Amino acid sequence: MKVTRHIYLDYNATTPLCSEVANVLDRCNRLIFANPSSPYEIAKKTRLEIEKARDQVAKLINCDKNEIYFTSGGTESNNLAIKGYLDYLRNLLYKQSIMARNKRANLHLITSQIEHLSILNVFRYIEKNYKDNYQCMVSYLPVDGSGFVDKGEFRSAIGKDTVLISIMLANNEIGSIQPIEELVKIAKSLNENIIFHCDAVQGLGKMEIDVKKLGVDLLSLSSHKIHGPKGVGALYVRNGVKLFPILHGGHQEKGLRPGTENVCSIIAFGYACEIVRKNLKRNIDIMAKLKEFLKEKLIEELSGMVDLRINSPDKKCLPNTLNVCFNGVDSELLISYLSREGIYVSSGSACTSGLIEPSHVLLAMGIEPELAKNAIRFSLGVENTERDLEEVVKKIKEIIVKNKLN
């Protein structure tokens, strides 16, 4: 059977370029080629366009444009924030130690168990490799059954050695939105020198983000989650916060991110931010309604034939993300059957060894390992319709019955 219609429900993985952004990208690719670092007139045009994009990104998260540094995406922003700050701090401590003759210090870092791999694996790397006089030790905070960091646990984890905290704004798999504003207040009230980083990649375009309100020092963003091009993102660095670069080279991005700028993608990312800013409230409404519709349909149509467990929290959740376990239904097989029908969803769990690896997020929430293998993540976009979602639920039902997956 040839699939004639595609229904994409994996917007947390990536989003398609929107037509305005595609036009901008196309125009840039044809017309703007000069290296922004070059001294002549046509290079100035490139520089101005990049600065305009910086302003567009800054406006979306309410910061000053000189606090935005363009990177290659969320992963690089996360690496730069964490390693960049620790390298700066360890260097500073080393310089001070020469004067003070105090050559050892433990640096305590805090993150959560449900972070994206581009955070967890950076911390794992640091734990294993930053082992000199300034050894880094990491606490991975647990979450409750709905995927929220416990404020009490958070408070008690902070000690006199704590130097850096990284907690995500919204979780990519289940959509839980962490109380960053309160966590920052707690952290800074205990020790005002703690640097707070927030991975906001999954929140952008799906909720309001105001760095002043959040109070964070560092915040990571990615373009391709908001209908912009892939391979570009940004790191917000609050004025006054110092980082070392993790790449070394020229003076681009004030030396923090050397390398000739990804000019066209940066400009397109800027436009994508502007479009998000204009439509944010409307988009949130549309996505939230669609999600509610999908949730009701799933319960209505499937609860008699399969045990459903909704893993996404009811409140304080991204408006587009619904993570569901179909108890006893192998998610990898269900995804494969759905994809043959032109329906694209994700399991939210990675398969690395042939055994389906249950998602670390669901395990951290206390979901049994076996049940965690039955999770499906629906992540919606404004382009989806109720008709699409009705069709998806109908197909899931058909597939489960036909293949006796339950």
Which residues are marked as active site?
351
CB atoms within 10 A of CB 281: 9
- Tell me which of 20, 51, 153, 383 binds another protein, using CB under 8 A: 153
By beta-carbon proximity to another protein, the closer residue of 133 and 260 is 133
Distance CA 98, CA 296 (A): 64
Distance CA 179, CA 176 (A): 10
Give CA 255 to chain center in angstroms: 25
Check residue 98 for interaction with another protein (CB under 8 A).
Answer: no
From 323, 398, 339, 392, select the one nearest 173 (Cα to Cα): 323
Q: Which secondary-structure segment (H or E) carries 283?
A: helix 263-302
Residue in the structure block whose two tokens are 């229904």: 7
Q: For the stretch 176-198, what's the b/e string if a residue is b when 16 or more beta carbons lie within 10 angstroms of its beta carbon? A: bbbebeebbebbeeeeeebbbbb
Of the ranges 119-127, 283-291, 318-326, 390-398, which one interacts with another protein (CB under 8 A)? 119-127
By beta-carbon proximity to another protein, the closer residue of 21 and 356 is 356
- Tell me which of 13, 22, 105, 138 binds another protein, using CB under 8 A: 138
By beta-carbon proximity to another protein, the closer residue of 102 and 403 is 403
Residue in the structure block whose two tokens are 């219609």: 5
Check residue 139 for interaction with another protein (CB under 8 A).
Answer: yes
Of the ranges 51-59, 108-116, 172-180, 243-251, which one interacts with another protein (CB under 8 A)? 108-116
DSSP string, 128-150: HH--STT-EEEEEE-B-TTS-B-
Q: In the structure encoding, which two tokens stand for residue 6, read together?
A: 């595609």
Check residue 48 for interaction with another protein (CB under 8 A).
Answer: no
CA atoms within 13 A on the CB side of 381: 21
Site string for another protein, 286-325 (x = CB under 8 A): ----------------------------------------
Distance CA 14, CA 85 (A): 28
Smallest distance from the beta carbon of 367 to another protein, in angstroms? 8
Smallest distance from the beta carbon of 139 to another protein, in angstroms? 5
By beta-carbon proximity to another protein, the closer residue of 155 and 212 is 155
Smallest distance from the beta carbon of 275 to another protein, in angstroms? 32
Of the ranges 37-45, 288-296, 353-361, 381-389, which one interacts with another protein (CB under 8 A)? 353-361
Check residue 124 for interaction with another protein (CB under 8 A).
Answer: yes
Number of residues that bind another protein (CB under 8 A): 38
- Tell me which of 255, 259, 366, 401 binds another protein, using CB under 8 A: 366
Do strands 68-71 and 233-237 pair parallel, antiparallel, or not at all (unpaired)? Answer: antiparallel
| Residues 26 and 362: beta-carbon distance below 8 Å | no
Supply the angle between the helices 19-31 and 263-302 in degrees, to the nearest 10. 160
Check residue 333 for interaction with another protein (CB under 8 A).
Answer: yes
Smallest distance from the beta carbon of 339 to another protein, in angstroms? 8
Check residue 364 for interaction with another protein (CB under 8 A).
Answer: yes
By beta-carbon proximity to another protein, the closer residue of 223 and 323 is 323
By beta-carbon proximity to another protein, the closer residue of 10 and 115 is 115
- Tell me which of 113, 179, 280, 307 binds another protein, using CB under 8 A: 113
Of the ranges 51-59, 106-114, 180-188, 262-270, which one interacts with another protein (CB under 8 A)? 106-114
Check residue 129 for interaction with another protein (CB under 8 A).
Answer: no
Smallest distance from the beta carbon of 78 to another protein, in angstroms? 13
Q: In the structure encoding, which two tokens stand for residue 386, read together?
A: 């109720």
Position 215, amino acid: G
DSSP string, 61-103: HT--GGGEEEESSHHHHHHHHHHHHHHHHHHHHHHHHHHH---
Q: Where are the beta strands (DSSP E) in 332-400?
A: 343-344, 375-379
Per CB under 8 A, residues contacting another protein are 108-109, 113, 115, 117, 120-121, 124, 127, 137-142, 153, 157, 330, 332-333, 336, 350-360, 363-364, 366, 368-370
